[in-house]
Amino acid sequence: MAQPNLSRRTALKTMALGGAAAASPLLTRFATAQTSAPIRIGFQKHATGIGASYGRWYDRTTAAAAKVINDMGGINGRPVELVIEDDGTDPKRGAEVVEKFANQHKVDVGFGTLFSHVVMGSAPRAGELKLPYFVVSEGHHVASGVLNRWTLQPGITDVKSQVLAMAPFVGDNLGKKVTMIFPDYAFGHDHRDFFTAAIEAQGGEVVAKLAIPPTETSFTKYFPKIPRETELIYHVMVGPGVLTFVKEMGEFFGPSRPEIFGFIDSLEAVDLATPGLEFLEGTYFWEGMPRYARADQPDFVTAYRDAVGVDENGASVSDPKDVSTFAHMFGCWETMFVIKNAMEACDYSGPQDRQALVEATEAMSILPFGPETPQGAKVFNGKTHQVFGPQYISKVVNSKLELVHTASLEDTFYPDEVDYTKMAF
């Protein structure tokens, strides 16, 4: 990892010069461990509720990473043990799970939360309990500065970064007059606010903003609200009703549709060859990591796919109908290795070293493209506790996602809004 004062632009140059070889690695300490007790990682799982499909694959990915880490000798010579609790994809239960992790299970860190409203409900309690809390959420809540020093997002990029990188492609290729359709909670509001600003910077405008309650099951009443002048529909729906949303949108527009750009969140864990989705042919999606295997992918990407148990289509190797949440779950794998490397850097031995663990994470910068970071090379900003990485745009071709554009790291940067390193623990 690079020194903490390495600028993000300098980091880009360093990556160009050789990635992992150019960055001085964290020292691993696999000398005789002082204790054989496991490192306990409290995995906050969306096992039920609207995040259940994500929870299932976040769990599988985390378990796969834990196995690889244990096969490597664990962390500081100690095995990794996952302690799993269901938060129901509910903010109140999320806070209760964090408290249970700290007071009952005595975990070393909390980890895994995806849905932004659950993060917002859970992170304050983690701060009060002084429990390092590693989220894999995408929301801008961490980098915005509204949380606390104990909460970090080092394994997945945030919405603000993503939409900044998408807007130039969208504006140049798909349309300037945009109707946005998004879930009516923090994650959707991030898209609404940041994409509106980003497309305006490209000379475009958002002509309508349709906020959908997360529990909605039918969407036909919303489509007539789309203005006729709309050139592009931008959708980022999540939850159990997404398949219905896409099918009903297809029925409403028929063959005469505007251009459509979506975040794959709308169809995570959904087979694009599902009857009723033919309407998506020729539309575009953001992907955090391309779902479909590519002929030119590095061997370590293939090894990652094998470890988490997906086939060339991004579905479970044991059940082709069980499609993964591939565009997001890599964040669990990468965060697990961040935790490992930070613990080894600070010689973590127990809860008394939690503050040192946060500081060691803050000191990271370059995360090279490789076995521990298979989504792509990244830069972690210790001040904002947020990672920046590549973004991908794919087009639906013959009911599969075909990569058509990769945004650079530099496309994703924005000015710091907080410096957590100046906050008290």
> Does residue 190 carry a pLDDT above 50?
yes
Higher per-residue pLDDT: 212 or 276: 212
Q: Is residue 22 part of a domain?
A: yes
Burial call 398-408: b when 16+ CB within 10 Å, e when fewer: eeebeeebebe
Question: What's the whole-number average pLDDT of the chain?
Answer: 91
Higher per-residue pLDDT: 17 or 129: 129
Residues 6+ positions from 132 with CB-CB distance below 8 Å: 108, 109, 110, 126, 150, 152, 354, 357, 358, 361
* Residue that is written with structure tokens 């999606």 in the block: 285
- 10-37 pLDDT, tens digit per residue, is 444 444 333 433 343 343 433 445 678 9
Q: Is residue 339 part of a domain?
A: yes
> Does residue 154 carry a pLDDT above 90?
yes
What pLDDT shows up at residue 238?
Answer: 75
What pLDDT shows up at residue 18?
Answer: 39
Burial call 124-159: b when 16+ CB within 10 Å, e when fewer: bbbbebbbbbbbbbbbbbbbebebbbbbbbbbbbbb
> Does residue 1 carry a pLDDT above 60?
no
Q: Is residue 180 part of a domain?
A: no
* Region at 3 (left for phi over 0; alpha for psi -120 to 50; beta for the rest): beta
> Does residue 390 carry a pLDDT above 90?
yes
Pairing type for strands 232-235 and 177-183 reads parallel
What pLDDT shows up at residue 8?
Answer: 47
Q: Is residue 221 part of a domain?
A: no
- Give Dmax over CA atoms of the chain in angstroms: 69
> Does residue 293 carry a pLDDT above 70?
yes
What pLDDT shows up at residue 237?
Answer: 83
Q: Is residue 243 part of a domain?
A: no
- 68-88 pLDDT, tens digit per residue, is 999 999 999 999 999 999 999
For the chain, what is the domain count? 1
Contact 247, 194 (CB under 8 A): no
Q: Is residue 424 part of a domain?
A: no
Domain assignment of residue 76, given as a range: 8-158+325-388
Q: Is residue 83 part of a domain?
A: yes
Q: What mean pLDDT is predicted for residues 321-339? A: 97
Q: What mean pLDDT is predicted for residues 150-159? A: 97
Q: CA-CA distances (angstroms) from residue 106 to 39, 81, 94, 359?
A: 10, 12, 16, 21
Q: Closest Cα to residue 286, out of 260, 262, 254?
A: 262
% of residues, the chain, pLDDT over 70: 92
What pLDDT shows up at residue 152?
Answer: 98
Q: How confident is residue 240, by pLDDT bands cut at 50, 70 and 90?
A: low
Cβ atoms within 10 Å, residue 236: 26
Residues 6+ positions from 191 with CB-CB distance below 8 Å: 159, 163, 180, 182, 234, 236, 263
What pLDDT shows up at residue 33?
Answer: 57
> Does residue 360 carry a pLDDT above 70?
yes
> Does residue 331 carry a pLDDT above 90?
yes
104 sits in which H/E element:
none
What pLDDT shows up at residue 16?
Answer: 39
CATH of the domain at 81: 3.40.50.2300
Residues 6+ positions from 55 with CB-CB distance below 8 Å: 45, 46, 47, 48, 86, 89, 114
Q: Closest Cα to residue 175, out of 183, 184, 166?
A: 166
Q: How confident is residue 50, by pLDDT bands cut at 50, 70 and 90?
A: confident
Q: Is residue 207 part of a domain?
A: no
Q: Closest Cα to residue 45, out of 36, 35, 32, 58?
A: 58
Q: How many helices (H) and strands (E) does the chain have?
A: 11, 17
Q: How confident is residue 9, by pLDDT bands cut at 50, 70 and 90?
A: very low
- 256-265 pLDDT, tens digit per residue, is 899 999 999 8
What pLDDT shows up at residue 22?
Answer: 37
Higher per-residue pLDDT: 266 or 304: 304
